[in-house]
Amino acid sequence: MKPLLRWVLDSLLPPSCLACDTPVEKEGQFCLGCFKAANFITAPFCRICGVPMPYVMGEECEGCATHKPAFTQARAALRYDETAKRLILPLKYADHTEAVKGLAELMRRPGEALLQTANLLVPVPLHPTRLRARRFNQAALLAIALARLTGRPVAVDALQRTRPTQPLEGFGAARRREELEGAFALSLDSGISGKRVLLIDDVMTSGATANACATALLAGGAARVDVLTAARVSDPRFEQLGLA
Ligand SMILES: [Zn+2]
Ligand SMILES: [Zn+2]
């Protein structure tokens, strides 16, 4: 939509909820119904990867206990369920960027400690062919919005995809690692040496992508890498048990 037309419409219509068409007071808010339906991640969760746990099962999840990830901590605002999908999917497939600011606001609280200590925000990159198809990288939009909210510096192009990768759904952990091996590299002037980097993405699924990015950042001299995402997929083992 043309910016002027958007401005005219925005000034005529009340802002609507981030996840539905219900009018709300301020842009970037949930309506009451969606706020109640949204599954914010609360304790207990894994101290390292942030995966929600059905009950206190120790400090770390089984995955982190067996394969410690390259990143130090990962946190997310929402469980990736139907409400979170309604918020996030339009970012991927349409020019629907007004949800970005609202999502960044939601990421602030779970990411508070990580945002405070981060020297640099870096989005998970898309491969250029996918970027051309979608025209923008939703992780970069979130990183820029978070940088605006917090005053943290952002380096949108610090990390790059060296080749396209297949969707990781249905792959086991070893196959996912193999698919992502060497898929990320730093740009020449990434400026990450000695920095505490906060990696930003929309959804964390298995953590394999975040792990591969963190590995590349640490190899390039980052002092520490943490991860902040809008949503987090629950552990499928807990879902099968009906516990997540
Ligand atoms: Zn709503
Ligand atoms: Zn974990």
Distance 181 CA to ligand 1 centre (A): 40
Distance 88 CA to ligand 1 centre (A): 14
Q: Which residues pair with 186 in a beta bridge?
A: 159
Distance 102 CA to ligand 1 centre (A): 12
CA-CA distance, 90 to 231, in Å (whole number)? 14
pLDDT value at position 76?
Answer: 97
Strand order in the sheet with 224-232: 74-79, 224-232, 196-204, 120-123
- Give the DSSP per-residue string, 142-208: HHHHHHHHH---B-TTSEEESS-----TT--HHHHHHHHTT-EEE-TT---TT-EEEEEEEEESSSH
Structure tokens at 119: 């020297």
Distance 60 CA to ligand 2 centre (A): 5
Nearest to 230 by CA among 38, 6, 7: 38
* Residues in the chain with pLDDT values less than 70: 1-3, 6-11, 90, 92-98, 133-134, 236-244
CA-CA distance, 221 to 181, in Å (whole number)? 18
Please report the domains of the chain, with CATH numbers, ordered by start residue.
Answer: 1-37 (no CATH), 40-240 (3.40.50)
Distance 89 CA to ligand 2 centre (A): 25
Nearest to 226 by CA among 126, 143, 111, 141: 111
- Of the listed ligands, the closest to the CA of 227 is 2
**115 within 8 A of 145, measured Cβ to Cβ:** no
Structure tokens at 174: 């070893």
Pairing of strands 224-232, 196-204: parallel
Distance 25 CA to ligand 1 centre (A): 12
Distance 106 CA to ligand 1 centre (A): 15
Q: Which residues pair with 52 in a beta bridge?
A: 45
pLDDT value at position 96?
Answer: 60
Distance 73 CA to ligand 1 centre (A): 31
CA-CA distance, 211 to 196, in Å (whole number)? 15
pLDDT value at position 243?
Answer: 47
Structure tokens at 108: 């602030």
Nearest to 27 by CA among 17, 37, 36, 19: 17
- Of the listed ligands, the closest to the CA of 48 is 2
Q: What pLDDT, in 10s, does the model give residues 119-151?
A: 999 999 987 777 776 677 889 999 999 999 999
- Of the listed ligands, the closest to the CA of 47 is 2
- Of the listed ligands, the closest to the CA of 16 is 1
pLDDT value at position 244?
Answer: 45
